[in-house]
């Protein structure tokens, strides 16, 4: 009798833990699964998931460097560059004002850096077309330092994905048109240019200076004729700005795109009276910059701008880039 009681006690405990009714056990039947609203068992009635604005703190490589990273599931490495061993195959590290040096590394002993002192100056890292290969999504992580003396005007490239084989298309993360000359703030826009040209979305902010900042960019090109792409920019692990459910690159395939970190600073001459070009405007975007070409004013120096004193002199500044990781799936 005691043995039977022990068996019944064990059985009752099992039922309470599993939730399986006596009837199901007795009849040797599999219990019905719980009902989930919107799903009919055995039928694929759900549409493909639609991308939505991701939550903050969702960067795939946040806090990681080439010397310390974990590959996310389903992704593969294209490039990991910390500049400790120079510039890799298919990469460019000494364009314009940039060079690999030991002035201000993020980790290790080297980074890529240089000085901006004139319109069209550029410090950045760039790959050949073909390095990325084909992909459905691409992800770029890097660290950036900008001197605290830096101020902003027309455009300042943060990163770029581009194809130029047969048809041109690029997608930029671009600090754009500060509100007045020589300001600490600007708007970080997502900007397709080429077959698809539009400023998709932007966020105004003080441009981070005087410290190392990690930027991560997650880009999924749209399929031709559809608005199903996205372009997400993360700052220090948190979502900063994103374009979702977007036509990012029109019908252009972004396979084999080149990838750039950093890039050009533009300080243009804005005039009210083109083509005479004698009356200066009051801020970037006011009037026209057409006089740049007609008068060949490209490359004006920060210290001696054409429209000074209305457009006052600007201090030069340094920019450094380090610990780049580029992955795809």
pLDDT tens digits along 258-298: 999 999 999 999 999 999 999 999 999 899 999 999 999 99
- Domains, the chain, ordered by start: 76-267+319-328 (2.60.120.200), 270-313 (no CATH)
**Long-range contact set of residues 40-49: C-beta below 8 Å, sequence gap at least 24:** none
Does pLDDT of 43 surpass 90? no
Phi, psi at 36, each rounded to 5°: -115, 120
Cα(245)–Cα(324) distance, integer angstroms = 27
> Within 13 A of 116's CA, how many CA atoms are on the CB side?
29
Residue 92's closest CA among 249, 321, 328? 321
3-class secondary-structure state, position 11: helix
pLDDT tens digits, one per residue of 184-233? 999 999 999 999 999 999 999 999 999 999 999 999 999 988 999 999 99
pTM above 0.95, yes or no: no
- Residue entry with tokens 């930029």: 172
Where would I find the H helices in the chain?
2-18, 22-26, 291-294
Residue 124's closest CA among 83, 154, 163? 83
Does pLDDT of 22 surpass 70? no
Cα angle for residues 197, 203, 206 (degrees, 5° grid): 125
Question: What's the pLDDT at 57?
Answer: 57
pLDDT tens digits, one per residue of 135-192? 999 999 999 999 999 999 999 999 999 999 889 999 999 999 888 899 999 999 999 9
């Amino acid at each position: 009798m005691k043995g039977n009681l022990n068996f019944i006690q064990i059985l009752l405990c099992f039922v309470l833990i599993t939730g399986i009714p006596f009837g199901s056990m007795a009849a040797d039947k599999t219990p019905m699964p719980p009902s989930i609203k919107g799903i009919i068992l055995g039928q694929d009635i759900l549409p493909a998931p639609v991308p939505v604005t991701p939550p903050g703190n969702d960067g795939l490589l946040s806090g990681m460097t080439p010397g310390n990273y974990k590959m996310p599931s389903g992704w593969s490495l294209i490039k990991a560059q910390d500049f400790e061993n120079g510039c890799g195959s298919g990469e460019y590290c000494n364009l314009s004002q940039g060079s690999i040096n030991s002035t201000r590394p993020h980790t290790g002993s080297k980074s890529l850096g240089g000085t901006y002192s004139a319109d069209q100056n550029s410090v950045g890292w760039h790959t050949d077309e073909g390095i990325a290969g084909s992909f459905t999504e691409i992800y770029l992580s890097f660290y950036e330092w900008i001197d605290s003396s830096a101020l902003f005007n027309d455009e300042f490239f943060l990163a770029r994905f581009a194809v130029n084989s047969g048809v041109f298309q690029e997608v930029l993360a671009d600090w754009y048109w500060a509100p007045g000359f020589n300001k600490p703030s600007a708007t970080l826009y997502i900007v397709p240019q080429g077959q698809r040209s539009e400023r998709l979305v932007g966020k105004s902010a003080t441009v981070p200076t005087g410290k190392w900042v990690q930027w991560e960019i997650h880009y999924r090109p749209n399929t031709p004729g559809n608005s199903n792409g996205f372009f997400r920019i993360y700052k220090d692990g948190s979502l900063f700005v994103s374009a979702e459910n977007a036509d990012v690159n029109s019908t252009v395939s972004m396979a084999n795109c080149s990838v750039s970190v950093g890039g050009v600073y533009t300080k243009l001459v804005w005039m009210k009276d083109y083509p005479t070009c004698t009356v200066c405007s009051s801020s970037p975007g006011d009037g026209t910059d057409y006089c740049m070409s007609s008068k060949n004013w490209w490359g004006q120096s920060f210290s001696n701008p054409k429209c000074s004193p209305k457009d006052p002199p600007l201090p030069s500044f340094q920019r450094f880039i380090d610990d780049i990781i580029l992955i795809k799936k």
